[in-house]
Each structure stands twice: as C-alpha cells, then as structure tokens.
Amino acid sequence: MRRSNRAIASGAMPMSTPPALGRFMLSYAPENAYQRVSTMENKKVFPKEKSGLHPRNRHRSRYDFDALSVSCPELIPFLAPTAYGDISIDFADPLAVKMLNRALLKHFYGIEYWDIPTDFLCPPIPGRADYIHHLADLLASCNDGVIPEGKNIALLDIGVGANCIYPIIGQREYGWRFTGTDIDPQALSAAKMVVSMNPTLRNTLRLKQQKDQQAIFEGILAVNERYDATLCNPPFHGSAEEAAATTRRKLHKLGKGEVAAKPVQNFGGKNSELWCEGGEEGFVSRMVVESATKAKSCFWFTSLISKKTTLPAIYHALRYANAVEVRTIDMAQGQKVSRFVAWTFLTAEEQAIWKAERWTPSSLKP
C-alpha cells in the first residue's frame, strides 16, 4: 500500500534566539548584527512552506537550524544572523553548504556518516528529494496508484557521484535498492565509504565504475538485469568556461559582488559532474540512443533536464529511437523550474507483465 505522508518538521524560525544557538550568537556575532536579530522592525516575513516542492518532500518547511544543529553540532560554527533577523549559513561557502547537507541527511534520513572530497558536487537536497518523489509517482501511475516499495524495486543511478544523494533518499523513503555508476574512481571511493559507514545502505546500494567514458548503460547493465527505473542528473554545461560563467552569476545573485575569474563553486563539482562535450543536450541524447539497445531491461528511463530549450532535441531523439511512451514531469524548487523526461520501450502488454512479476504484493520484498 502507498505509505501515508509523514509529518514534516516545522521550519519556521522562532521569535527568540534558539537555545542551541544562543551561545554561538553571543560569542561569534558582531554586536550590531546581534542587535538586528533582536529588532522586530528589521524582521522579514518568509513563507512557512516551499509550496512548489512535492507534497511528500520532507523539506517543504524552511530550514529549522535549531533542530539541525542539535542533530549535527558541526553545523553550528557556520551559522550566523542575517540582516533579516534570521539564522542561516553562507550559501556561497562550499564548506557551509556541505555541513548543511550533512545535517539534513542525519536529521531527516538517519545517515550517521556523510562526507565528500573537496571539489565534488554537493547537491541541494530538497530538489534531489523532489526527483525521487515524482519518480515514485511515475511508478505508481503504472501500478493502479500504488507506489511499488521494498528491496525488489531496483533503480539505476547514472552518475551517483561521491554524495549518493538519490540512493540515500530513495532507500529511506521507499525501501528501494540502487546500483550507482560513475566514471570517476575517486567519487566511487568516497561513495563506498558512505555505504560502509551506514548500515542502511550496505545491502541496498551497489556501486559500479563505468570504465568507458563514452558509454552510459553498456558495460553496466548485465543481460538478465532488470531495473524499474533509471535516474540521472546529467552534466549541465558544454565546457569548463560555461560552468565557471554560471558560477559567477550565482555568486553575484548571492550578493558576493565581483568574483574571481575562476570562482569557487558553492555547491562544488568536478569537471565530469558539471560539463561534457555537447552539454546536457548531447549527454541525454546519447543516453536515449543507448537506452534503445537496452529497451527491455528497464521500465522507465529518466533524466533531469535543466534547460527547457533542450527538450525539442530530446523529443526528436526519442522519436528516432521509437520510444513507446514519453512523459515530461515538471518540478519547481523556489524560483527554479526544472523537469525530468521519462521514456519507456515497453508496450502496454509488456508493462502489465512487468507489473505482475515485480510489483504485485506477492512479488515485493519488505
């Protein structure tokens, strides 16, 4: 049965100084900054919920830094009062963003150990959670509205990276098992450490290196393997210069003014994570072509698409590959609008067989 929505921890900031942060604010905050926190006239009213996020997303409320700092005290040195009378982190600081992610993963998903090497992608967790929840809805739409859950449901994460975010969320929310692939051995080494240090992941996340940088599924999908869905956050940019220019724009929006010619990525990211030849359009188009050679190995192939202008080329590739069904699922995180494209090569009859063999109560494992 489809699980009910969980209670979401309140993210509304308290009117008084949170007890876990009081000592921090008095000893680290400049006097005038602390006074701003205490002055109601400078208080800015923020919405209590991020309404664009999926209803089951645990991060619809604003960050409760009091609760997060209790779960992860390492976050406390990165917290500071803002000009609006709130507590927050500097989102332009990669280390602060990493500590926030560590706190979120521990507080909401029970992850005791999580770390990534310097310069690796540290993704914003609310948006990644949205992908997982919308993917669950996609599976449910082919299963009489019931989300298939448990270890029998297998997902393939293309480009799992060092962070393992999708497997962590998917396992915690729906009990799914994952295979995560990556071309970077350093990323996989860090991911293996995360798996080994967290008992919930040891039997639910398998890691495999893609040794052919031009391949996506080839060399990963064995002949008799079946996956209920694939997911991917593809390299967004077409060059390192394009990635750097985007980072400069982000830092400017965060109020950092002039930035270096080669700025530090606030969410990190190695070259292989941020850009590839052809950018997002080229990568996903290659994925579509290759997925046709594994047509019966997976129910739904999916990939995030950040640029709306990429969609026509992807639809063209899917028509050429003779996809049986294509869906575009829109998502919204704050002011950012994103989506993922899903496609299947299974006919209605083949989908019914798949459902009977893998998604019926008798076939599902707890």
Q: In whole angstroms, what is the distance from residue 240 CA to residue 274 CA? A: 8
Domains of the chain: 22-89 (no CATH), 125-239+264-359 (3.40.50.150)
The SS3 call for residue 142 is coil
Listed in order, strand segments (DSSP E) in 183-314 are 205-209, 227-232, 298-305
Classify residue 221 by its DSSP letter.
S
Which own/partner pairs from 30-35 qualify as long-range (CB within 8 Å, at least 24 positions apart)?
A: 33/80, 33/81, 34/81
The SS3 call for residue 341 is strand
Within 8 A by CB and 6+ apart from 274, the residues are: 121, 235, 236, 237, 240, 243, 265
pLDDT tens string, the chain, 366 residues long: the values are 444 443 333 333 333 334 444 433 333 333 333 333 333 444 555 556 666 899 999 999 999 999 999 999 999 999 999 988 899 999 999 999 999 999 999 999 999 999 999 888 888 999 999 999 999 999 999 999 999 999 999 999 999 999 999 999 999 999 999 999 999 999 999 999 999 999 999 999 999 999 999 999 999 999 999 999 999 999 864 444 554 445 445 444 545 554 444 444 444 444 544 445 768 999 999 999 999 999 999 999 999 999 899 999 999 999 999 999 999 999 987 677 899 999 999 999 999 999 999 998 766 655
The pLDDT of residue 361: 79
The pLDDT of residue 326: 99
Q: In whole angstroms, what is the distance from residue 159 CA to residue 209 CA? A: 10
Torsion angles phi and psi, residue 330, rounded to 5: -80, 145
Amino acid at 190: A
The pLDDT of residue 251: 44
